Amino acid sequence: MKTPEPEEERSLHMDRASTSTVTRLSSYLRLLRELEAEDLETISSKLLAERTGVTSAQVRKDLSVFGNFGRRGLGYNVHRLRDEIREILGLHHTWRVGLVGAGNLGQALYSYEGFGRQGFPIEAVFDTDPDKVGSSWNGLEIKHFEEFTRVARRKPFEIVILAVPGEVAQEVVDTVVAEGTRGILNFASAKLDVPPGVAVREVDLSIAMESLSFALSR
Amino acid sequence: MKTPEPEEERSLHMDRASTSTVTRLSSYLRLLRELEAEDLETISSKLLAERTGVTSAQVRKDLSVFGNFGRRGLGYNVHRLRDEIREILGLHHTWRVGLVGAGNLGQALYSYEGFGRQGFPIEAVFDTDPDKVGSSWNGLEIKHFEEFTRVARRKPFEIVILAVPGEVAQEVVDTVVAEGTRGILNFASAKLDVPPGVAVREVDLSIAMESLSFALSR
């Protein structure tokens, strides 16, 4: 606080806010889907807050960033709010997703129903292992990664899921980014170097473990 | 806001703060490990903030929750802060972890090096599939889940990783909780019902995807 740099502080704060807001929007969306299944038509910010574990002030603040969905005293319309959040998160679009890496993790991710159901169906799988290339998962043939460029030039993969060993991760990323991929879901234990405009999200399983460890230590 | 319930608001806020604080502590810890590898001895809250994408006010606030590690103008001692955060997160303790489910996901999790390295080595694997039970992964024999109770009674599993189909998840949880497990890392697509004092953390891969989708929609 001795050398305050308000500009920088503010912009860092905005980035941070944006990331956590998106995570909370995801959790509101999950709840709204449940409420729809229960045929509930409206929900108050108070209940939305209670069921997702944040304050109602936070809920109102998050939703106000994107416009005014609620009416004072009437709460939010469940269908409309769900649609608005889906729109904000870019989920009206079905993304073209490629998976690189057909090992145990790749297979587990391919079987994960959540991706397809939520607008991220895996449309192609690539590997370099001769034992895997040419075999099929539910009728989808595993292609050699050498074919990635040819396939992507017909139609780019907007998102690539990276389930390869850390040693080859950067090489794979360089190839897919060169072919137009702008989003990487990274399961490789490697820091990735990407050009501006490419988003990387890591799934670090140890963080969930550390949160458990913290809870069990109380 | 028409019927303010300050008590409840505050306690929800505390829960929320606690969850996000723990996640940030995990990310400070990752950075401190990197800095140690670079032989850096001290770090300012400003740099800690910059490198983890939060404000320095947030860093100071997070660390002040647990005590005063830094000295004004001198920054934080990297080793000491790392040790303190490890202590706070319960990572000085090596947790006894069991894995239930030896499918593709289970195998991928078993191969995930991060768990062992960070104090969560998987000590036993259980499944019910006769093709899997009795076979070995790196010398560790996969046991039938019927043996869980016998094994846990010798020494309870503090944490269980759940990599089973959603349909059997609750049944598995009831068994492991009855045998003293207090932490569940849940990969099953099922809402779990657990008694008070048992912590559950979900790993929802779609949330990372939605964050990518949001970034690509800008």
Query: For B111-152, how does the pLDDT look when each residue is reduced to its tens digit (9 = 90+)?
Result: 887 788 888 999 999 999 999 999 999 899 999 999 999 999
- B42/B126 same-domain check: no
**Mutation site, B91, B213, B217, interface A, largest A CB count within 10 A:** B213
- A106/A187 same-domain check: yes
pLDDT in tens, B185-201: 998 878 899 999 999 99
Check: CB of residue B26 under 8 Å from CB of residue B19. no
List CB contacts (< 8 A) between B53 and chain A: 12, 15-16, 19
Domain boundary among B88, B117, B139: B88
**A118–B73 C-beta distance less than 8 A:** no
pLDDT in tens, A67-81: 555 566 678 889 999
Of A9, A15, A185, the CB nearest to B209: A185
The helix/strand/coil state of A101 is coil
| Residue A53 contacts B, CB cutoff 8 Å | yes
ipTM, two decimals, is: 0.83
In chain A, whose CA is at the least distance from the CA of B218?
Answer: A90
CATH of the domain at B145: 3.40.50.720
Domain count, chain B: 2
The helix/strand/coil state of A181 is coil
Check: CB of residue A176 under 8 Å from CB of residue A98. yes
The candidate with the shortest Cα–Cα distance to B169, out of B101, B97, B98, is B101
- Of all residues in chain B, the percent with pLDDT exceeding 70 is 87
Domain boundary among A30, A57, A88: A88
**A206–B115 C-beta distance less than 8 A:** yes
The helix/strand/coil state of B101 is coil
Residue type, A216: L
- A109/A27 same-domain check: no
Residue numbers of B between 194 and 213 with CB closer than 8 Å to A: 199, 201-213
> What average pLDDT does range A168-194 have in this prediction?
94
Domain boundary among B60, B88, B116: B88
Question: Can you give the pLDDT at residue B189?
Answer: 76
| Residue B51 contacts A, CB cutoff 8 Å | no
- A108/A175 same-domain check: yes
Range among A55-59, A195-199, B23-27 rated most confident? A195-199
Instruction: Quote the pTM value.
Output: 0.76
**A114–B213 C-beta distance less than 8 A:** no
| Domain encompassing residue B50 | 6-88
